[in-house]
Structure 1
């Protein structure tokens, strides 16, 4: 296992290099000009060219890339083109909000989807299974922004029970107020994620309960629930671990749409604003962070495989 981990860690550098080249090329090929954010109607063309030169946009594309890469190798993610603030500082400032939101929603997703998947498999082709399947189809199909707007309209506008925007009330810094503001975005993300996790758990549970070790356990007198929780669940968790590894980049990139809908001051809203403003340094930094976390997530998933299933270690 250690040899595999070392090999995968050594692969991170060339993978990130390829990701950076592709991302930089796509950004340069995208339409728009970040200089237009600074241009006023009466500005002289020489002033516009001076702004373009100060931003380093007059160099050839490959020189711009290597200048940016040199800064990255020295631990400098650059400065935002819009507010001239260090990119790393903005990411660190917004990171807790995104990690808290995404971590809570991911924990809630697992807490609901795993038991419901086991229950649906236990009561296959009954009304319980049909109802849960219908809810999961809705969860997978419904656009997350539309569901979030529905929650805001019902619980915030009509009932006035929950706040609709922001992370905290102005002038209030209590933990209870933070939790109160997080209810709707966490509910939105949890409902969206439960559908996929539920389908994985249910389908794998159905294939596992038909295997011989489950029949042997039933023959010994073990209850079906004990078999599900203590034996079947271990094998069912393998594909779930894969989903968890692929969900790790969301802790950095954040829920782009959800954070925008609820005005949650995390990395998702930062990335959306950077995309609309063509803020290249922030876009590149977020892309690299997402790629790095995806690689780390897959590595952690492979390591967890070997811990959960001894057959893989052999």
Structure 2
């Protein structure tokens, strides 16, 4: 187990290092000049060159990357070249919107996926089970923008019970308004994510129903549903742990679109604005933080999966022996 932990943490470090290099180089390929953005369209070439020199943009790429990487090791995400504010300060503020949005979306998705996915598996030969499967496939194909517009039209326009734009200036100091402002965006993402997860739950439940230990429990007198709940659901849950890790990336992508649609001051909206401003120092740190969150969540889920699955531990012991 110790060896596995060391390998996984080493892989995480290497993954972050490779991701930082790819992000840095990719952003330098994009057209445009941040010095020109700061100087304005009427600036002289000499003025643009002076700004580029002051920002260190005329230095070799390797030197710029090394300076950024050294700052990251000191937990310094840099400073915005456009506004002059520390990236970490603004990113912390934006994460206070994006994190709760992602968590609430995942919670809503789970509330949809687990009960309906299990019912779709138990009743897979009935009309209800087939209807749930068809609805999940349809919902998973719905674009996030269209789903968001429908949510606004129904809950903010027709019913007029939830706000459709913005986030309270006081933030989470006013928890009631903050929570209400995230409900529609979370429902938008959660319904689509729930439809995707539902199919995985259905597939895992069907596999559990056909497992030998579940069929043996049913043969000993337990009902099919009781045998699934007692002996099958732990296996289903274990199978879905890895799937939840993969869906974190989808939540991040959905948050970028939804924050724009609902005018939420989160990381996704900030990223879009900074890309438009060619604020490379902010964009590269923002993208790396998002990548790091996804990689860390994947590593934690992988370690958790290894710990709670006795078969994984047994295989590890055999290899170590």
Same fold (TM over 0.5): yes
Q: CA deviation at 1:292?
A: 2.2
The residue number in structure 1 matching 2:35 is 35
- Would the alpha carbon gap of residues 36 and 134 (structure 1) be closer, same or farther in structure 2, given more than 3 Å must change? farther
For residues 246-287 of structure 1, the C-alpha deviation after alignment (integer angstroms, 9 at most, x for no partner) is: 344578787111111111111121112222222212221122
| Runs (5+) with no aligned partner, structure 1 | none
For residues 6-56 of structure 1, the C-alpha deviation after alignment (integer angstroms, 9 at most, x for no partner) is: 221123322222111111111111122222322334322211211222222
- Would the alpha carbon gap of residues 289 and 254 (structure 1) be closer, same or farther in structure 2, given more than 3 Å must change? farther
1:32 partner SS: coil
2:161 partner SS: coil
For residues 115-153 of structure 1, the C-alpha deviation after alignment (integer angstroms, 9 at most, x for no partner) is: 111100000132211221122112211111121012112
Trace 1:1-314 onto structure 2 (pairs within 5 A): 1-168=1-168, 174-248=174-248, 255-314=255-314
For residues 187-241 of structure 1, the C-alpha deviation after alignment (integer angstroms, 9 at most, x for no partner) is: 0011111122111110121122122222211112212222222321111123311
The whole-number CA distance in structure 2 between the counterparts of 1:122 and 1:200 is 14
The whole-number CA distance in structure 2 between the counterparts of 1:171 and 1:292 is 25
- Would the alpha carbon gap of residues 96 and 207 (structure 1) be closer, same or farther in structure 2, given more than 3 Å must change? same
Q: CA deviation at 1:57?
A: 1.2
| Runs (5+) with no aligned partner, structure 2 | 315-321
Relative to structure 2, which stretch is displaced further, 255-264 or 168-177?
Answer: 168-177
The whole-number CA distance in structure 2 between the counterparts of 1:282 and 1:171 is 23
The whole-number CA distance in structure 2 between the counterparts of 1:171 and 1:69 is 32
Q: What number of residue pairs does the alignment pair up?
A: 314
The whole-number CA distance in structure 2 between the counterparts of 1:312 and 1:29 is 43
Relative to structure 2, which stretch is displaced further, 117-126 or 13-22?
Answer: 13-22
The whole-number CA distance in structure 1 between the counterparts of 2:185 and 2:91 is 20
The whole-number CA distance in structure 1 between the counterparts of 2:78 and 2:44 is 28
1:75 partner SS: coil
Contact 2:144 2:258 in 1 (8 A): yes
Relative to structure 2, which stretch is displaced further, 33-42 or 247-256?
Answer: 247-256
The whole-number CA distance in structure 1 between the counterparts of 2:228 and 2:150 is 36
TM-score, normalised via structure 1 length: 0.92
Relative to structure 2, which stretch is displaced further, 303-312 or 103-112?
Answer: 303-312
Relative to structure 2, which stretch is displaced further, 170-179 or 251-260?
Answer: 170-179
CA RMSD of aligned residues (A): 2.2
- Would the alpha carbon gap of residues 308 and 114 (structure 1) be closer, same or farther in structure 2, given more than 3 Å must change? farther
The residue number in structure 1 matching 2:319 is none
TM-score, normalised via structure 2 length: 0.90
Contact 1:254 1:267 in 2 (8 A): no
- Would the alpha carbon gap of residues 163 and 46 (structure 1) be closer, same or farther in structure 2, given more than 3 Å must change? same
Relative to structure 2, which stretch is displaced further, 200-209 or 158-167?
Answer: 158-167
Relative to structure 2, which stretch is displaced further, 97-106 or 51-60?
Answer: 51-60
